[in-house]
Amino acid sequence: MDKSTLIELLRYACRAPSGDNVQPWRFTWDGVRLSIYNVPGVHNPYLDFEERGSYIAHGALLENLRISAPHYGYNMEFELFPDTKHTELVAICSFSRCAKNEDELFFAIKERVTNRRPYKIRELTESEESTLYKTVANVSGTELYIAKNRKSIQKIAASASGVEKIILEDERMAEHLFSKIVWTDKEDREKKSGFFIKTMEFNFVQRFVFRLASKPKIMYFLRKIGLPSFIAKQDAVLYSSNAGMGGIVISDESAESFIFAGQALERIWLTLTNMQLAFQPLIGMTFVAYKTETGRGDLKDAHAKQIEEDFKNAKESLGVTSGILAMLFRFGDAEKPSVRTRRRDPDITFV
């Protein structure tokens, strides 16, 4: 594979989602094999644990790479974590020639986007449900759960939004949140990473209040008057507007399992994009809850109790009885988002 083809292929791969758009990857190409490395320490330390959030992003990247390769006349295979002494080496990919063809999800890669607008409330069709289950049927080590009952959806939405109250009430988590926000178009063009405020789809008043909340002294006052609880309640209403909510369950907390979760996430997201449906991942609560449940968290007692209850309610509402609920999401009909996040060019070392 020549360099120009590799670069184009990686541009598709790097359209994968990542928390706060941190894009935690770099690449090495030796003319035959592509090595993919994790860039450690870039994900939210209060939501992530042991790079698992980054591995979800890498799973999505690998799935994009696998889907895109046939467009350029290649099949792609990969080996996960091939060198136990170099844990930053996530995968080594090899390519073999094939006739050029298009995977049915290929053109959705450029169209995939997080949509935080209100969705139309309607019932999920049997055809839509069947398609979603089929798209992840062959993704190793993952199970898809879909909630269609409106009462269950409302419970999951309330559970998913609860973490936002915790984040805004916890000074450390709030400080980190606001440090990652990109506030202007100019800053977004220059950085091409970070959490661009316009993707929140705030109106002018909401954006103004959120900017004020980024000031610690003002945020202290806003906590006193109950802003975190108000935002969580508003988001619970927003999240419950959809055609359905889903969850991806994995068997264990190994790095490989979170890679598989990322692959499943991307396939579901691309499939919904092809179906002209909107999608929003809701991962924060599941990570904070699992950290707390396994003794890795350091939340205040009241927050720990709240997140554990939210996690329990979400799993019960989805029907999850075993495994790890790695992420939640909502999907449905909505207007297109007003903006989308930018991507950096792939960081490739040629050797």
> What was the pLDDT predicted at 344?
93
- Check for a shared fold between 3-111+340-350 and 126-332: yes
Residue type at position 278: A
**What are the sequence ranges of the domains in the chain?**
3-111+340-350, 126-332
DSSP state of 48: -
Low-confidence ranges of the chain (pLDDT < 70): none
Q: Return the DSSP state at 304.
A: H
Residue 76, phi then psi, degrees to nearest 5:
-120, 135
| DSSP H or E stretch at residue 200 | none
> Residue 18's pLDDT is what?
94
Class of the domain covering 126-332 = alpha beta
pTM attached to this predicted model: 0.95
> What is the identity of the amino acid at 35?
S
338 token code pair = 């007003």
For 345, the token pair is 């060019």
Spatial contact of 25 and 343, defined as CB atoms under 8 Å apart: no
With tokens 């709240």, the residue in question is 306
Q: How far apart are the first and last CA of the chain?
A: 14
Interatomic CA distance for residues 293 and 280, integer angstroms = 25
Q: How many CA atoms lie within 13 A of 149 on its CB side?
A: 9
Token pair 């190793």 in the structure block, residue:
140
Q: How far apart are CA 309 and CA 292, in angstroms?
A: 11
Q: Which two tokens stand for residue 154?
A: 């409302």
At residue 60, the pLDDT reads 98
CA 133, 134, 136, 137 torsion-angle sign: positive
CA pair distance 36, 81, nearest whole angstrom: 10
Crossing angle of helices 150-169/227-239, nearest 10°? 150
Fold of 3-111+340-350: NADH Oxidase (3.40.109)
pLDDT for res 43: 87
